[in-house]
Amino acid sequence: MPEPSVFSQIISGEIEVPRVYEDDLCIVIRDRSPQAPTHLLIIPRKPLANLSEANGDDKPLLGHLMWVAAELGRKLGLEGYRLVVNNGRSAGQTVFHLHIHLLAQREMREQDLAAH
């Protein structure tokens, strides 16, 4: 069995990190290496390694993660933001627990990528 990801350890409380938001399906934390003034990570409690691992039963969870992103955008008064999901090592994924990057408060360019 693979080692638990750092996100699994954060979710379990083994590693303490301040949470921006949490509910029964996900948590949201600030990225420790932000690529923008606002750089949040929306992390499902379910330990999916990446988006490709999701199946039909995960549709409500995936929709919820997008809703959380929109809700955070509204609550933080963000005019615009970018959502990024890296799927696999070749796409820049370094933590193999599905998560969405929410980046805001800087001009975004097409070539900007968020790793993790």
The catalytic residue positions are: 99
Q: Tokens 């995936």: give the residue.
A: 62
Residue from 79, 87, 88, 84 nearest 103 by CA: 84
Backbone φ, ψ for residue 16 (5° rounding):
-90, 125
Tokens of 10: 């954060």
Q: Residue for token digits 């929306």?
A: 42
